[in-house]
A = this chain, B = another copy of it.
Amino acid sequence: MYTYQEMLSILNNGGYRLTDQRLSLLQVLETFGGSFSALDFEKKANEMEPSIGRATLFRAIDLFLEQGILEKIHRENGDDVYIVGSKGHHHHIICRDCGEIRDIDACPFEKELEEVIQREGFSSTIHRIEIEGICESCRKKGEGKN
């Protein structure tokens, strides 16, 4: 997960202006532990100065996605959520309950994927792998209740 400084460098190196709004949004990103919706993001952003217009927020999200500062994740329930990005090719495992997301580095599926892609004759492929389940601490909480 990128630090504030890394995110800032990404924007700066890309030639994007470091406006108060963008810097404020980056600060907000640092405070998220797991995944969050655009609305979560907006709410938290508007607890600080300067307040951020909806349009600006969504334009920033688009920019951050393009630059890899954010990653978009599609939940089983249909919601789109975001997480702060990180370097390299990786996938995610998400807790359905608390929303925690862990990175899975070093994609363990490369070999099998390559076989499938070869067999089907596809090229220029990208793949998306998401695992959703219940994390250990949520499972323990759940057992307490039932």
Contacts and interface: CB of A to CB of B under 8 A. Distances in A.
A72 to B, nearest CB: 8
B108 A115 contact: yes
Interface of A: 74, 76, 78, 80, 93, 95-96, 102, 104, 108-109, 112-113, 115-117, 120-136, 139
A104 B125 contact: no
11 contacts: A95-B122, A104-B116, A104-B120, A112-B112, A120-B135, A122-B133, A123-B133, A123-B134, A125-B132, A128-B130, A128-B132
Copy number in the complex reads 2
B112 A108 contact: yes
B135 A121 contact: yes
Contacts of A136: 121-122
Nearest to A115: B108
Contacts of A93: 116-117, 120, 122, 125
A76 B126 contact: yes
Contacts of A132: 125-128
A34 to B, nearest CB: 14
B139 A133 contact: no
B128 A76 contact: yes
